[in-house]
Amino acid sequence: MNLILIGPPGAGKGTQAKRLVDARGLPQYSTGDMLRAHRSAGTELGKAAQALMDAGKLVSDDIVIGMISAALEKAGAGRGFILDGFPRTVAQADALSAMLAKRGEKIDRVVMVDVPFSLIVDRIVGRRTCPKDGSVYHVKTAPPKVEGICDLDGTQLVQRADDTEAAITKRLTEYDQWTRPVAGYYQQLGLLRHVDGVGTPDEVYGRLNAALA
């Protein structure tokens, strides 16, 4: 299955994608995670993206389209995938369609995780991530076993540089301006399903699987 998870910042795309990866063995491609890996590695691409990301602005279409194109090419056709955080502009969605058409593939399902903006700030402000393996926690709803420490590799958890209130406000504006139209794009193609993202991660995961059945 070729699946796209779409939704506002902090909706739980990464959290749900991780569960689908574990359950279905599909590879996950998150442009946000890829960009953060570039930043950690200090690449030119990472340096170019850093200021935009920290301000909550989208990075250029060319950069993210290039990253996804390279990842899909490397994986080869026919294995299925989960895209998390891509596409988030209509230009990216068009580029993805063209990329897939070339290899005789298409998107099978697009799931929008709906969470009201009023809940988003709490989710994002409480998020802690492992800088080493990318695991995502929340101080209240998904705490690690030992406060501040990754369960999987013992690394000190950090807050993302774009998880400040100013950056969150900008990320929500960018979402409204650029990413909502992407939902419309897939709605027109008859591929979009909505999943209520309010509730425990287990409850949301149950709804997600029902939407994929």
Footprint of Mg ion (CB under 5 A): 14
Determine which residue in the list 3, 6, 31, 96 makes contact with ligand AP5, applying CB under 6 A.
Answer: 31
Sign (positive/negative) of CA torsion 163, 168, 170, 173?
Answer: positive
Total number of residues shown for the chain = 213
Partner that binds at residue 12, options ligand AP5, Mg ion, none, CB closer than 5 to 8 Å by kind: ligand AP5
Write the DSSP symbol of residue 179: I
Which residues are within 8 A (CB) of 75 and not within 5 positions of it... i.e. 6 or more apart? 27, 81
In angstroms, give the least distance from the CB of 145 to ligand AP5.
14
Separation between Cα atoms, residue 13 and residue 200, nearest integer Å: 13
Determine which residue in the list 85, 95, 110, 112 makes contact with ligand AP5, applying CB under 6 A.
Answer: 85
Separation between Cα atoms, residue 31 and residue 84, nearest integer Å: 7
Partner that binds at residue 120, options Mg ion, ligand AP5, none, CB closer than 5 to 8 Å by kind: none
Determine which residue in the list 43, 156, 169, 200 makes contact with ligand AP5, applying CB under 6 A.
Answer: 200
Separation between Cα atoms, residue 28 and residue 66, nearest integer Å: 16
Is residue 39 among the annotated active site residues?
no
In angstroms, give the least distance from the CB of 36 to ligand AP5.
7
Partner that binds at residue 27, options Mg ion, ligand AP5, none, CB closer than 5 to 8 Å by kind: none
Is residue 79 among the annotated active site residues?
no
Per CB under 6 A, 14 contacts ligand AP5: yes
Determine which residue in the list 2, 4, 6, 9 makes contact with ligand AP5, applying CB under 6 A.
Answer: 9
First to last CA, the chain: 11
Separation between Cα atoms, residue 161 and residue 129, nearest integer Å: 11
In angstroms, give the least distance from the CB of 13 to Mg ion.
5
Query: Other CB atoms closer than 10 Å to residue 47's CB: what's the count?
Result: 11
Relative orientation angle of helices 61-75 and 44-54, to the nearest 10 degrees: 130
- Supply 40's token pair: 């950690």
Is residue 171 among the annotated active site residues?
yes
Q: Which residues bind ligand AP5 (CB under 6 A)?
A: 7, 9-15, 31-32, 35, 52-53, 56-59, 64, 85-86, 88, 92, 123, 126-127, 136-138, 141-142, 162, 171, 199-201, 204
Which amino acids are annotated catalytic?
13, 88, 127, 160, 171
